[in-house]
Amino acid sequence: MSADAKDGTGTGTEPPGAGAAGVAGEPSEEPTAKGAVSAPGPDGVPRKSSRRFPLFTRDTARPEGGGRAAPGDAPAPARQWPLLVVVSVVALGLLLTAFDVFRVGTILVGLGLLAGAVMRWTLPGVGMLAVRSRFTDMVTYGVLGLAIVLLAMMAQPDPWLVIPFLDDTLHFTISS
């Protein structure tokens, strides 16, 4: 322990392990942090346990659930399987739409987004499928997916789903 730390006159700006203890060849002390702390970070220095955002941010925080969906030593496709599932279903839907199977293709696009919302809700780590907070991602994927599915089912000719007040609204806006 350094002389400054023993008598309480240290400035508190020195990095852990710096000072007289490191120079004199004495064993260095454990790193310390002021206030409530949690487990040490990657550099070995204890982190503050507050979840409050700092006054000045230096980096973008990873969204909750934005960790890998598989261990780090797995190949990239295995780590990002939730995103690949959503992108594959949407791509298949777009391909079917391009081949003039409009209704089934657009329903697949919407179901792909709904699957993304369900995965975002149930899985702890979804890789790059996590863009914002869990709630915002679920609402965004869910609302867009549901809207696409409903619009695909109501598309003319021969709609699979008929909602009378929407039909009346359309006729009212066109006739006025």
Look at residue 172 in the predicted model and tell me its pLDDT: 66
Going by C-alpha positions, the residue among 86, 93, 80 that lies closest to residue 137 is 86
pLDDT score of 12 more than 60: no
pLDDT in tens, 111-157: 999 999 999 999 888 888 888 888 999 999 999 999 999 989 988 88
pTM of the model: 0.59
d(CA 141, CA 111): 10
